[in-house]
Chains A and B, each alone.
Chain A
Amino acid sequence: MAIAVVGIGTWEILVRADVMDAFFFPRPSDIAEQIGDWVSDGDIFDHLLITLTEALLALVIGSVLGLVVGFVLARWQLLAEIFDPYIKMLNSLPRVVLAPIFLLWFGLGIWSKVVFGVTLVFFIVFFNTYQGVREVSAVLVNNARILGAKEGQMLRHVFLPSALTWIFSSLHVSVGFAIVGAVVGEYLGASEGMGYLISEAEGVFDTTGVFAGMVVLAAVVLVIDLVVHRVERFLLRWKPDGAI
């Protein structure tokens, strides 16, 4: 907290003393004022809502796809071997280059951003699911089978919980990527959302607007991270302390 106060205070003073150029480094007080304006006319909430909706959709769709594909490939070794090179190839592709194509395919609305976010989230969940299912100890599997578990029950009681451990521990990363996907997508072409707001401000060299957008995004992500942390702690409560 003290670091933030000193840092922002120094910044404010340096800009006021003309040591730093207010065009490139807008005064923190101006940024705060800009945010205040946004909040008071309510515009910012519409943009935030759009961005968060896109992120949430990307998170849910990407997670479900990653979970399903991860499961299938982990349980059928042959499929895994066939698809392995394709998955590696797609994953090594810098995803940003896909964003313009998705814009063309899915239009300027929210779906091009959702799909973009999905391509980011999918791989994280996929790799974690795959690992989670493969790493279940043979003893747990044998014990459950001897106790009478059928394949469906194995999935529900043994493989899924094991995979979920891995997925939850990567939830921070997934949530972050979903938001990155939404914002970058909007930045490249949209008519609403936080990314659009920032890119708009940038278009007219309104650095105050750019910084204000960044501050709002950072604050929101911080809050979301806190919630995710709580959720994670609850869901992984069976784990030894410090293992999370």
Chain B
Amino acid sequence: MPPGTAMVELADVVVSFPTNDGGDYTAVSDIHLQVEAGTFLSVAGPTGCGKSTLLNAVAGLVAPTGGQVLIDGQPLRGLNDRVGYLFQQEALLPWKNVLDNVAFGLQLRGVGKAEREERAREWIWRVGLSGFERAYPHQLSGGMRKRAAVAQTWLVDPDILLMDEPFSALDVQTRQIMENELLDLWTGSGKTVIFVTHDLDEAVSLSDEVVLLSAGPASHIVGRYPIDLPRPRNLMDLRTRPEFTEIYARIWADLREEVMKGYERTTANTADRRR
């Protein structure tokens, strides 16, 4: 692919943070990655491998220490205004009800009350929360709060969607339903998705491509795996199909190695400290 045609491109990206003892901790290094417009890409890897750091770099929340983030061929400076970000943690404003939370992005853009509420109501309906417009986040279940967050993120119509283990706090059933609904929303939307997860199953079933990161610190890309399972996919029976199992097994072989490395590193560290 010639440079500059990807929707999101990470060129030689390094991100490091100063640590408390005065040193530097390199979260990710040497990241080369192009994401074409309209693709669903998952980033998988062992815990603590800098997956979220990568998303923050694309969002412009973290400036890379080295290298560049290119959005649609343009180097990113400051906050990326073309992304929507679905966080792992609760990000709804607790003092706004569902309607105001979903409409928040439009309110910030100066859209009038009547129009933004009408558009918010439509999204509330699409994520199945009709009737809960006046409820405050604490009155909803975890799954419902996630739906509201999805509506909040999509309503401002970002070109790129960043998702940081958005469903990891949900129970298994709710999670499968949400994954299915996410695919339905995404299909035909033309949006570029970068989805971070430590769950390989989720990564394979949702994505066009899975990128595997090595164990931290200084994680780099270990492998890229195109997922050529046919779309539209039904997640409920996809997981039992032989093609799925085959791809899954191939990636898992590599991931397992990284997981073990990461595990040994952390246990070795603990052993060092004990000595």
Q: Using CB atoms and an 8 Å cutoff, list the residues of chain A in contact with chain B.
A: 137, 139-140, 142-150, 153, 157-158, 161-162, 165, 237-240
Contacts and interface: CB of A to CB of B under 8 A. Distances in A.
A148 B83 contact: no
Given A238-B94, A238-B136, A147 B89 contact: no
A238 B99 CA distance: 13
A165 B95 contact: yes
A239 B94 CA distance: 7
B91 to A, nearest CB: 4
* Interface residues of chain B: helix, strand, loop or mixed (majority): loop
Interface of B: 59, 61, 79, 81, 83-85, 87, 89-91, 93-97, 104-105, 107-109, 136-138, 152-153, 156
Given A137-B89, A142-B87, A148 B97 contact: no
A140 B93 contact: yes
B248 to A, nearest CB: 31
Given A137-B89, A143-B85, A240-B138, A149 B108 contact: yes
Given A143-B91, A157-B93, A161-B95, A239 B138 contact: yes
A148 B156 contact: yes
A157 B89 contact: no
A129 to B, nearest CB: 16
A147 B61 contact: no
Nearest to A235: B95
The majority secondary structure among interface residues of chain A is: helix
Given A148-B109, A148-B156, A238 B85 contact: no
Contact of B97 (A153, A158, A238): A238
9 contacts: A139-B87, A140-B91, A142-B61, A144-B104, A145-B79, A146-B84, A157-B108, A162-B95, A238-B94
A115 B85 CA distance: 48
Contacts of B91: 139-140, 142-143
A240 B95 CA distance: 11
A145 B104 CA distance: 11
Nearest to B91: A143
Contacts of B59: 142, 146
Contacts of B79: 145-146
Given A143-B85, A146-B61, A153-B108, 12 more contacts: A139-B89, A146-B59, A147-B156, A148-B81, A149-B108, A157-B93, A237-B136, A238-B95, A238-B96, A239-B94, A239-B138, A240-B138
Contacts of B94: 238-239
